[in-house]
A and B are shown apart, each in its own frame.
Chain A
């Protein structure tokens, strides 16, 4: 509260000097004299630049808050809700995203494997195990840079209907740069980070993400890396 009074004072003095503020030399001279106007201009510039840059940084890219860590995955239950946090709403607005509503489904993303190492396109991973109860789910390779133009778009993901399962209903997807038997998910590019998205459609867990645990989501294990 104390800070606002000199702040308001600084503002008025800055406006008084505003017409000439464009001239760099004048500001420099003010700065050398370290007058109130110079300090006020510095304060305002610092506030505007830092504030806008940090707001831009926080709302570009992924959601900064609201994720619930479940094993290697991060669930985003509130991304599409009307009471989402302001950062999530700003991110959605900037990207034109239409997030899944709570009654529709749940989005989980993974950028690292079970051991916490970032997913790399040059490595081979096994994604397997069980999924939370849902009417349908899809596991897809999502974003982080464009696809290699030379690479034919073979497959971007698996749906719960088309994935090959073992007799007990579990499945194992192999994310690898080279052709693999079974459920092969081709790496989107030769090198670089990879992100996976697991979307559960029409699922009861969207309303109670706290009930999810490590054993109910697919595990992501690194099998090896190309040299």
Chain B
């Protein structure tokens, strides 16, 4: 009897150690396997050139639409997401500042890696370019020394992720404007140059033109 119970205790101990290993492995694996996480859900907005609204604040008698998937949304903040896939080229997010406070945050699978509010805007415009390390080096090499680009360039840790646009409506009367302000942000993919010299030239001109114009 005694050896049996000893073996049983031993097996239980090994089982508990195994449980610990399984627990740690499961917690570490969840973010990668999750189908419901923000990066996977935002992917539907990849082809849009404006943010996909994921939480529109209620205006008047219209309640917030049920497609909102934020678990605990702030009822006074309109939220939109732009998913990016840097394999298609760098992602450019352009926002014009308005009367409402606006913030942009870039997220990847591991979490947010950059955030900026409209207080950092230069002459009323906020231009964010999200690129990979290689694209960043290329953009740096293509820069015109006399007319440097005014884009804020951020190197993303992964090729996939999304940019969150949040606009705060301080008063109920500002809510329609907040919903509109989210939609007014543009998220475009800077198309990679097909034929190297012409494309590079065009993209360089485009970037400097934007900087000077705003």
Residues of A bordering B, CB below 8 Å: 3, 6-7, 10, 34, 39-40, 42-52, 54-56, 58-59, 80-84, 86-87, 89-90, 92-105, 135-136, 138, 140, 142-143, 153, 156-157, 159-162, 197, 199, 201-202
Contact = CB atoms under 8 A, between A and B. Distances in A.
B122 interface: no
16 contacts: A3-B13, A7-B18, A34-B4, A42-B15, A46-B16, A47-B17, A47-B21, A51-B22, A80-B107, A87-B27, A92-B37, A97-B38, A98-B38, A98-B164, A104-B166, A161-B171
A159 B105 contact: no
Q: Determine which residue in A96, A143, A160, A197 has the highest number of CB atoms from chain B within 10 A of its CB, and name it.
A: A96
Interface in B164-182: 164, 166, 168-172
Contact of A89 (B26, B31, B70): B31
Nearest to A153: B63
Q: Chain B interface residue count: which class?
A: 35 or more
A103 B117 CA distance: 8
A189 to B, nearest CB: 16
Interface in B98-120: 101, 103, 105, 107-108, 110-117, 119
B26 A136 contact: no
Contact of B30 (A59, A82, A96): A59
A8 to B, nearest CB: 10
Given A34-B8, A159-B169, 5 more contacts: A3-B13, A97-B70, A97-B71, A199-B77, A201-B166
Nearest to A79: B111
B36 A95 contact: yes
A58 B169 CA distance: 35
Contacts of A100: 105
Contacts of B18: 7, 43-44, 46-48, 51
Contact of A80 (B7, B19, B111): B111
B15 A43 contact: yes
B22 A47 contact: yes
B138 to A, nearest CB: 24
B214 interface: no
Contacts of A34: 4, 7-8
A199 B17 CA distance: 40
Interface in B21-41: 21-23, 25-28, 30-31, 34, 36-38, 41
Interface of B: 4, 7-8, 10-23, 25-28, 30-31, 34, 36-38, 41, 54, 58, 63, 69-72, 74-77, 79, 81, 101, 103, 105, 107-108, 110-117, 119, 157, 164, 166, 168-172
Contact of B168 (A45, A47, A159): A159
A87 B29 CA distance: 11
Contact of B75 (A92, A104, A157): A157
Contacts of B36: 93-96
B170 A136 contact: yes
Contacts of A86: 27-28, 31
Nearest to B54: A98
Contact of A42 (B11, B108, B117, B164): B11
A94 B168 contact: no
Nearest to A64: B27
A93 B34 contact: yes
Given A94-B36, A102-B115, A47 B15 contact: yes
